[in-house]
Structure 1
Amino acid sequence: MLPLSRAGDGGAPALVALFTSTSAVCVTGLAVVDTPTYWSGFGQAVILGLIQVGGFGIMTLASLLGLLVSRRMGLRTRLTAAAETKSIGIGDVRAVLLGVAKVSLLFESVTAVGLTLRFLLGYDEPFGRAAYLGLFHAVSAFNNAGFALYTDNLMGFVTDPWICLPIAFAVIVGGLGFPVLFELRRHLARPDRWSLHTRLTVWTSAALLLLGTLFVSWSEWTNPGTLGPLDTPGRLLAGFFQSVMPRTAGFNSLDYGAMNSGTLLGTNVLMFIGGGSAGTAGGIKVTTFVLLFFVIIAEVRGEPTVHAFDRRIGDRVQRQALTVALLSVGAIVSAALLLLEITDFATDRILFEVVSAFATVGLSTGITADLPGSGQLVLVFLMFLGRLGPITLVSALALRERQRLYQLPEGRPLIG
């Protein structure tokens, strides 16, 4: 709110400052003002600092809560978990903090250097400006924030692979999660030695990226407002970029306000699923999604237990995944109904905005700034809930284990 943070006269209003700071520290990317023109260099530095603190904090928080959960397990379960999740083990807190810091610094630095060279050599930006642009977008990408220093986000670079691909790479890596990255560093060439968590995260993420690219490209191929004017390589690059960003970065190289309703609905699904656990991505997480998929497969086949990659999935994990998914749906539907009551926007636009906020994505059809103050406060609450809710909920469920000394008679209500 300081006048120093704003490019114009006076300080930012309280609601604008609250919305922007929440979006930054929750690494979402939604904005009610134009980031490059509304905020001064100092204000942009504050946003960048909040993104870095938020991303680092979420990765370490999720990883440390995983350690806490493993320490509260019984000895046999702990030994099994330690053998299965070699990425962290049951080690100390200091190793996790240093590991997350090193991983963040490495990938942010590599991405920043690549982007700086492109801005410097490809767009004739002065070195200082190019370095600033490279650093800002690299930090925003790795932390899945989606803040950009261009009014149209990254639409001006829609066909530039030297900008889009490094940013997409940083988004994917940041969204995989620290435990997966740590394990891939040790066993990248040996998929047979990957833990179940890493297998679920990597293969599901790869499948969603491929299917998302095919879906967006097919759905928008002839749309004159999005992919229509581009050549074939440009369409494929833009389709891939729009498949990566809902996982949950928030950058966009196409105008989501001009997309078809079907594309918006498919993007809602990708945003809701999100990325990997203990990473900078939001959503219910790919592991939650794929575990529920395996539950459905087992039920359809009539199998008494659920299996994934030669491992049996415990009943408690299944219930945790179901709880997270259903409570997330409840939060999204409740917020969407509330916004529909206080605004005149179409249902698909409101739903897209709500899912984007809850999944901490940051994509928008352009209605964020036009929402009333009460509507923006709803999004503030959703961003905070979506960023910390699933992590704390799963940890609480895992740590809250009670023994029942008796069993009630079984009931069989009609289903369906």
Structure 2
Amino acid sequence: MPLTFLALIIIGTVLLLLPFARSGEGSAGFMPAFFTSASAVTVTGLATVDTGTYWSPAGQGIMLALVEIGGLGIIALATVLGLFIGGRLGLRTRLVAQADMHVVSLGEVRPLFRRVAVTMVFFQSVTALVLTIRYRAHYFDDLPTALWHGVFDSVMAFNNAGFSLNRDSLTGYAGDGLIIIPICVAVFVGAIGFPVLAELFQEWRTPDRWTIHTRLTVWGSIGLLLVGAIAFLALEWNNADTLGGLSFGHKIVSGIEGGIMPRSGGLNSFDWGSVRPETLNIGVVMMFIGGGSASTAGGIKITTFLLLAYVILAELRGDPDVTIGNRSIGSVVIRSAITIALLAVMLVSATTLLVMLMTDVSFDAALFECTSAFATVGLSTGITPDLPADAQVVLIGLMFLGRVGTITAASAFVLRRRVPRYHLPEEQPIIG
């Protein structure tokens, strides 16, 4: 998978370097094309140039295609196409798809991918229709422009990519619930994860029959939304640079956005460079946690975060096993969660230090930018375009690892289990 994503980034870079992809005369520079391609394939949304003016409609179309392919995943896309074209899946393909999409049994692969395709088309189409109507009625004079903005924003929202055709993202629509809320819904659904959506499609009326994974993802996502929105509103309510000048209703809409977008959406109707330091810190935490497994979201994933919380709770209680509901969690899963979380902490910490050494940006700004890149969020305090080329390469590496690294690591942990033939004598080092 990493090589496939890398190949797609290279192909996207080459396409964006062609003269027709650049708005105006001449072709794009290598770094803008390379950075944009990597950000699109990894469905991040960080940008070093203005998407609406630097790239031509053809270039924007290339970006949109890269985001669609990257969001669904190379293996998932190939499997879905194979389903509709050939109608059959080979055993090897199903095994690979099972590892990539975190499906429990082989029998779930075929119906899962059908629902993936249908769900993706449905939510993007509905979101695009709602946005196009609103854009045409209040923001654009002609239907083609409104339609292109509606389609572009719906694709970016569902795939949790932060690209926008506007220089200031969604700032021009701040507080407009008929635009912000549909985009937030698309981001939330895209970040839930395809296996969860597939289960909800069948069992949405019976939550007591949901799997542990679905329960953790759904209730955890709703909980983080509420906590994030309340914290954002409390901290930014009187901030003149963000929510201070908005009406009550517009503040509530922006608060909902503030609880959803840091999880992985990346689109914003206010300047994250102007928020309070406390809000910036909460944003870093939300980005690091991310969305659901096998989704378009990044981060360590909500299930990993909540599982570690249950591990801590079991340790504090002195329980020998980690239990969630009426199920116990195996040691292999726990070790995988701990490994992914610690690797993510080390990676973000190291790259934050590296960016600070390469530039003169503050710790808060560097941490926010690196976390956004690793978690494939796309939010920025505005420093990305001004970073030197070497620091931008660091962010490209983070986006790549954030998109394919955790999936590859998780799959490797699951597929490479070894049953030892013997056990060494135990010893207990002093902890704490």
Q: What is the TM-score normalised by the length of structure 1?
A: 0.93
Structure 1 letter corresponding to 2:395 = L
1:392 matched to which residue of 2? 408
Secondary structure of 2:323's counterpart equals strand
Matched, 1:262 2:278: yes
Structure 2 letter corresponding to 1:228 = G
Conserved 8 A contact 2:112-2:198: no
| Equivalent of 2:386 in 340, 360, 370 | 370
Give the superposition deviation at 1:260: 1.1
Q: What pairs up with 1:214-233 in 2 under 5 angstroms?
A: 214-233=230-249
Could you give the per-residue CA deviations for residues 256-309 of structure 1, whole angstroms, max 9, x where no partner exists? 010111111110000000000111000000000000000000000000000112
Aligned residues: 403
Distance 1:209 1:255, change over 3 A: same
Secondary structure of 2:162's counterpart equals coil
| Equivalent of 1:301 in 313, 317, 341 | 317
Conserved 8 A contact 2:156-2:162: yes
Following TM superposition, the consecutive aligned residue runs of length 4 or more in structure 1 with deviations greater than 4 angstroms are 61-67, 69-72
Give the superposition deviation at 1:236: 1.6
Matched, 1:329 2:356: no
| Equivalent of 1:251 in 267, 284, 302 | 267
1:50 matched to which residue of 2? 66
Give the superposition deviation at 1:56: 1.5
Structure 2 letter corresponding to 1:317 = V
Give, in whole Å, the separation in 1 of the partners of 2:19 and 2:386. 23
Conserved 8 A contact 2:98-2:109: no
| Equivalent of 2:307 in 291, 295, 298 | 291
1:357 matched to which residue of 2? 373
Conserved 8 A contact 2:172-2:269: yes
Conserved 8 A contact 2:97-2:109: no
Structure 2 letter corresponding to 1:14 = F
Could you give the per-residue CA deviations for residues 339-361 of structure 1, whole angstroms, max 9, x where no partner exists? 11110000000000000000000
Structure 2 letter corresponding to 1:325 = A
2:46 matched to which residue of 1? 30
Give, in whole Å, the separation in 1 of the partners of 2:249 and 2:313. 37
Distance 1:68 1:61, change over 3 A: farther
1:163 matched to which residue of 2? 179
Could you give the per-residue CA deviations for residues 111-159 of structure 1, whole angstroms, max 9, x where no partner exists? 0011011111222431111111111100110000111111100011111
Matched, 1:186 2:202: yes
Matched, 1:15 2:31: yes
Could you give the per-residue CA deviations for residues 223-264 of structure 1, whole angstroms, max 9, x where no partner exists? 111111112221121111021111201001110010111111
Could you give the per-residue CA deviations for residues 38-90 of structure 1, whole angstroms, max 9, x where no partner exists? 11111111111111111111682899999638989xxxxxxxxxxxx9x8742
Give, in whole Å, the separation in 1 of the partners of 2:307 and 2:93. 18
Structure 2 letter corresponding to 1:385 = L
Deviates more, 1:52-61 or 1:312-321: 52-61
Conserved 8 A contact 2:235-2:278: yes
Give, in whole Å, the separation in 2 of the partners of 1:213 and 1:59. 35
Secondary structure of 2:137's counterpart equals helix
Give the superposition deviation at 1:220: 1.0
Matched, 1:338 2:354: yes
2:334 matched to which residue of 1? 318
Unaligned runs of 5+ in 1: 73-84
Secondary structure of 1:227's counterpart equals coil
Matched, 1:68 2:84: no
Conserved 8 A contact 1:60-1:96: no
Structure 1 letter corresponding to 2:107 = G
Give the superposition deviation at 1:99: 2.6
1:133 matched to which residue of 2? 149
Could you give the per-residue CA deviations for residues 366-404 of structure 1, whole angstroms, max 9, x where no partner exists? 000110000000000100000000111000011111112
- Give the CA RMSD over aligned residues: 2.1
1:121 matched to which residue of 2? 137
Q: What is the TM-score normalised by the length of structure 2?
A: 0.90
Distance 1:124 1:383, change over 3 A: closer
Give, in whole Å, the separation in 1 of the partners of 2:214 and 2:58. 39
Give, in whole Å, the separation in 1 of the partners of 2:129 and 2:400. 32
Give, in whole Å, the separation in 1 of the partners of 2:153 and 2:96. 34
1:99 matched to which residue of 2? 115
Give, in whole Å, the separation in 2 of the partners of 1:207 and 1:125. 40
Identity across matched positions, percent: 50
Matched, 1:272 2:288: yes
Give, in whole Å, the separation in 1 of the partners of 2:271 and 2:171. 7
Conserved 8 A contact 1:291-1:318: yes
1:145 matched to which residue of 2? 161
Distance 1:53 1:61, change over 3 A: closer
1:401 matched to which residue of 2? 417
Structure 2 letter corresponding to 1:223 = N
1:81 matched to which residue of 2? none
Conserved 8 A contact 1:59-1:100: no
Give, in whole Å, the separation in 2 of the partners of 1:405 and 1:319. 20
Give the superposition deviation at 1:405: 2.2
Give the superposition deviation at 1:93: 4.9
